[in-house]
Amino acid sequence: MGLMFGPLGQLLDNILLFYYLLLHYRSEYGVFWKCVQAGLMYVVTQLCKMLILATFFPATDVPGDYLQELLKTTVDLADLVGISMMMNQIPGKGDLKVLAAGLGWATAELFLTRLVPMWFGARGVEFNWKYIQMSIESNINLVGHLTTVTLVWLWSRHDLSQTVFPVITMLLLAMSYKPILMDFITRSAHLGAWSVLIVKAVFTLGSGLVALQVYAGVNIS
């Protein structure tokens, strides 16, 4: 694909290869089909969210209506329910649950929201930075999905320390409301596309490191 369509085609190859390597790394545990099941759960969850949004939150053309956007973003909490249901269906240890659910969720999002525009747009004659930005954002989203799945798994554990539980809850809410938080920061600070990517990367990486630290502590104990 990369040789056929040039550097931007290679860019798409790199994104798909990144997901493939993560899937292949744990193929001996049969994680592939569990990822497929997680991807299907993602599709079902998004359809339910679309139905709720279309029923209770009809489209409006009022810019800057953060109350309306906050209510719409609250529907994203359904993702946490879908992830929790999916993880309950995956037998095995915590790392297998997190990897299968996270990769399946992220890969489904990649195919449904980014693959088509990147495929047709990146094949164009004119170079456009937005496709590189989309590829970077897709990898940021992968880390974000793995972080969210890890937080859901930690939140569901009964042996989690009471001092850590509020932190996990706050991070879960922050990850769920990240779109409106990013939109507010972007509008307030008048950030450009690259600056928004940096803010998203720092926020996601920071949340991931905290989740990883707590996850490691739970496994050691």
Cβ-contact 143, 37 below 8 angstroms: no
CA angle 108, 52, 199 (to 5 degrees): 55
Kindly indicate the confidence band of residue 18, based on its pLDDT and cuts at 50, 70 and 90.
low
Among 106, 196, 180, 93, CA closest to 147 = 106
Query: What letter would DSSP give residue 157?
Result: -
- The number of distinct structural domains making up the chain is 1
- Residue 100 amino acid letter: A
Average the pLDDT over 178-205 and give the result.
89
Q: What is the pLDDT of residues 113-129, one digit of tens each?
A: 877 666 665 555 566 77
Tokens linked to 49:
């969210």
Q: What is the pLDDT of residues 42-57, one digit of tens each?
A: 999 999 999 998 888 7
Cβ-contact 76, 114 below 8 angstroms: no
Q: Which range of residues forms the domain containing residue 151?
A: 2-220
